[in-house]
Structure 1
Amino acid sequence: MIETNGVHTAIVMPLVTPQKDWRADFPAGDVDDSQRPYTHVSVSWGEREVFLNTPTWADITVSTAIGAIISGDSLLHVAHYVRPAPGADLRPLVISPRQYARLVAAVERQIVPSDKRTMYHGYFGNDVFYDAPGTYHLGNTCNQWTSDTLATAGIRVGLWTPLEGGVMKWIPEPLQAGSR
């Protein structure tokens, strides 16, 4: 699935599949609410100061935004979910096993080994931040990361997608019950 909060996009994947068990890379023990029966992980990439210092978009400052646009360090944001339901902001994406294997490999390249990364508390009990490679700037945004990761897996997306609408326009909204 691909999710959006209206500004930022993320890739939501099953926690365990034949291709990948994410529990070793993103253990539930890293989140405050670690005892829930998680079924999926949401992974996104973004600018460190924005992620850590803007729990809501109302908290962003001009200096933080300008710093991110110019150049900033990056983090992965990982949220754990229990049976997420598709909707307008969480859209299912049907891909082949080969595409999923390529998607997994692309995400794995963004994971700093656990003994070399710092972990930061997330916004809620089910999420966490980890150090990640790369530099955030206007040409390499959080939404561009989602798009590039999907493209690496062979999924059709736009070439330059700095904003969330540029990613989400490629992911169809799920059909509502009773519609065709």
Structure 2
Amino acid sequence: MKIFWRTTKWISLTLLGLVLVYGLLALVFSLWSTNPPDKDCSKDKVVYVTSTGIHLDVVVPVEDLPKALRHASFQDSTSTHIAYGWGERNFYLETPTWADLTFSNGAQALLVNSAPVMHLTRYQEKKPEWIAVELCEDALAELLVFIEDSFRKTANEEWEQIGTKGYSENDFFYEAKGQYNAITTCNTWLNNALKAAEVKTSRWSPTTHGILYHLERP
């Protein structure tokens, strides 16, 4: 019995230590900003970052989308903006907000290498709570290449849609490239998208807070 409790205590302390180290690293690397080059160009393109509190999406005006991102499965003549996000399959499908978070889907997302999905949402107008990010035309092009390259495609270069709709009639899920885990989360994907567009952001941020910290600073 003593061996059992000693082993249980050791495992508990080890797990607690790992959680504390993870949290400390997340804090340090979230506050530590990137240093993208200050390009001498006209930043006349605007994308947006939107948050559910647990997921971040990048929102692009429909008029700026290239043909590769104008997929027939979600096209709508009334849409003005399309939001893109990447995340763990079960976590994304079952946890749209903090209220939907459970221990099982949270633990699975953090502790298991799992298949990701792309989440698209179409909007009929710009929302006031979105955070605007001004970009040069070249930076926007790099961002769009990053987004397009995140989709897993068939041999015919088609996106693989999951079901017919997402949380509502205006959002959709597709198969994505990569592996989701505690290091590569939905928010690190968004952070990497901003890095691709040479936007000042966190070195690494597994949560929404580090990214929003840099975007919301004057």
Q: In the alignment, is residue 107 of structure 1 matched against residue 147 of structure 2?
A: yes
Give the aligned partner of residue 178 of structure 1: none
Tell me, yes or no, if the aligned pair for 1:16 and 1:22 is still in contact at 8 Å: no
Which segment is superposed worse, 41-50 or 110-119? 110-119
Match of 2:70 among 2, 5, 24: 24
Give the aligned partner of residue 15 of structure 1: 62
The alignment partner of 2:57 has SS state of strand
* Alpha-carbon distance, 1:117 to partner: 1.4
Tell me, yes or no, if the aligned pair for 1:74 and 1:136 is still in contact at 8 Å: yes
Q: Alignment identity in percent?
A: 27
* TM-score normalised over the length of structure 2: 0.69
Match of 2:126 among 84, 96, 100: 84
Q: Return the alpha-carbon distance in structure 2 between the equivalents of residues 16 and 22 of structure 1.
A: 13
Q: Which amino acid counterpart does residue 60 of structure 1 have in structure 2?
A: L
Kindly provide the CA deviation profile for residues 25-76 of structure 1, in whole angstroms up to 9, marking residues without a partner as x.
Answer: 36425xxxx5x60011000001100112234433332121111102221001
Q: Which amino acid counterpart does residue 58 of structure 1 have in structure 2?
A: A
Give the aligned partner of residue 169 of structure 1: 213
- Closer, same or farther: CA 172–21 of 1 in aligned 2, 3 Å: farther
Match of 1:6 among 41, 53, 56: 53
* TM-score normalised over the length of structure 1: 0.83
Match of 1:93 among 113, 125, 133: 133
* Alpha-carbon distance, 1:103 to partner: 0.3
Q: Return the alpha-carbon distance in structure 2 between the equivalents of residues 151 and 7 of structure 1.
A: 20
The alignment partner of 2:173 has SS state of strand
Give the aligned partner of residue 119 of structure 1: 162
Give ranges in structure 1 of 5+ residues lacking alignment.
Answer: 175-180
* Alpha-carbon distance, 1:116 to partner: 5.6
Q: In the alignment, is residue 42 of structure 1 matched against residue 88 of structure 2?
A: no
Kindly provide the CA deviation profile for residues 58-96 of structure 1, in whole angstroms up to 9, marking residues without a partner as x.
Answer: 333212111110222100110000121332xx1111111
- Closer, same or farther: CA 21–11 of 1 in aligned 2, 3 Å: same
Give the aligned partner of residue 53 of structure 1: 94
Q: Which amino acid counterpart does residue 176 of structure 2 have in structure 1?
A: A
Tell me, yes or no, if the aligned pair for 2:54 and 2:96 is still in contact at 8 Å: no
The alignment partner of 1:93 has SS state of strand
Q: Which amino acid counterpart does residue 132 of structure 2 have in structure 1?
A: P
Give the aligned partner of residue 147 of structure 1: 191
Q: Return the alpha-carbon distance in structure 2 between the equivalents of residues 146 and 78 of structure 1.
A: 13
Give ranges in structure 2 of 5+ residues lacking alignment.
Answer: 1-47
Q: Return the alpha-carbon distance in structure 2 between the equivalents of residues 158 and 83 of structure 1.
A: 29
Per residue, is there more helix in 1 or in 2?
2
Per residue, is there more strand in 1 or in 2?
1
Q: Return the alpha-carbon distance in structure 2 between the equivalents of residues 147 and 93 of structure 1.
A: 13
The alignment partner of 1:37 has SS state of coil
Tell me, yes or no, if the aligned pair for 1:15 and 1:22 is still in contact at 8 Å: no
Q: Which amino acid counterpart does residue 115 of structure 2 have in structure 1?
A: D
Q: Number of aligned pairs? A: 166
- Closer, same or farther: CA 86–56 of 1 in aligned 2, 3 Å: closer
